Structure 1
C-alpha cells in the first residue's frame, strides 16, 4: 500500500463517520512516521546517513522532499490531531468500558496522555505544511526537566517519571507477547497467513518501540539521579545510544520500527473502534 493511499483512505466520507475517520487517519499518520523513522535509522545503521538523527521530527521533515510533500505533511498533522481526538473520545466516553474506579480512571488518563504525546509533532508537521519550515522542539524536554529539578524533591519526581516510562516500555513487550494487541485489528477480512504476518510484525514492532521508550525512561532516571537536565533525551538520543552500541543494535531496532509502522497502517485499514 502506498503511503499516500494509506492516508487518503482514512479521509472522512460523511460527517457521521467523522470520529472513526479521524482515528483511522491518526493510525495511518503514526504508521507513516514510524515507517520513515525506521527507514532513516536503518540507513544510519548501514552508514548511508552519517550525522543525520532519525527522530520523529526528522522523519516528518523528510516528507518535504517528495512530490506533494506539503499535502502529505498536512495529512500527517490532521491525522495526528485525529489520533488525539480519538484518544480523548476513548477517555471521556469510556469507549473501552474501563469504568470510574481507580484502575479505570488510570487507563482513561493514559488514553489522554497517549494522545497528547503526539501534540508537539502534530504542531511541527502543521507548521512545515503551512510555512515550509519549523523550529525543532528538541530542547523542550530538557527545559521542562530543569524547571522540575528546581522544585523541592524535583530530582525524585524526575526519577519516578523515568521509572514509569521504563515500565511503559516493558508493558509494550508484555502486550507484544501476551497477544493483547490482537484486539486492535479487525482481522476478520484477513486470511490465516495474513493474520500471522500482521501479528508477527506487531510483536517485532512493539518490542522495538519498547526499547526506544525504555531508553527515554533511562535518560530520565539518569537526570533524576544526577540532578542534571542535560541527561534527558528523546527519540534522537535513544538512537544515538543504539548507534554507539553498534550498527547491529541500531539496525535491529530500525527494522522493528519499520514493522511497527506497517502494523499501524494495517490498523488504519482494519481498525477496531468501539463505543462510537
Structure 2
C-alpha cells in the first residue's frame, strides 16, 4: 500500500470552489468519462443497493447498538413538500421560515413528538444522505435535541431538499427520517472512505464505504455505503474521479491511501 500525504492548504483552497475542481469531485458528465469506456457509463448508477435502511443492521452491529436504538419518522409527500417549500427561503437565510411557521407547527412538529431525545442528542439520516450541510440551532452543536433543531437542519440543508425531491419524483409513499443516538466522536476527522472498483468486465457495480476509526480503543465502525461511479454523487475525497481514473478504477494491485491534516502552523 502506498501512503500519500496531500497538502492541506491545497485541499482547503479547492473546497472554496463550487463545484470542486481538484478534490472530492462528483456528478461527472458522460463527456468527461474516458472515451474507450464511455459506453459503460451511459446511465448514472442506482443508489438503492447502498441505501441506509438496507445496511442498517450491519451498521448497528458495528456500533454495538440494538435495533430499538433506531427511531424512524415517516413524512407523507404533503409533509415533505411543506418542508421543501419552507426551505426556499431558509437555505438562503439560515433561519426558520416564518411564513411557514404556523403550517409547520401544525403539520410537522406533532409528527416529531414521538421521538425520544437522549442526553447526547440524535443523529438524523435520510436513506441516501444526512443533512450535514444544514444549520445548527446552537452553532457548532451537531446533535439534535428538539423538533425545532430537526426542522432548522432540514429546511437549511440543500442535501436534504435534493433527496426529498428525488424521493417524491420516484413516487414513494413516505419519506423516511432515521434517527440514531449521536456519537460525538464521529466526524470527518476520524472517518475514511474506501473505494472498491468493480472487477474488469463485471456487470455488477463497485461500491464505496465510510469507516469511523476510534483511536481510543482502536476500533472501526461502518458508517455508510455509497455507490462507486464517477457519474454518481459519491465524492472522491482526496482523489479526482477523472484525473485519478486508473487509481480508482484500477486492478487493485497498487492500493493508495491518501490523507491530509491541518498542522499546528496552519489556520
TM-score range, shorter chain: under 0.3
Q: Which structure: greater helix fraction? A: 1
Taking structure 1 as the reference length, what is the TM-score of the superposition? 0.24
Taking structure 2 as the reference length, what is the TM-score of the superposition? 0.25
Between structure 1 and structure 2, the one with the greater Rg is 2
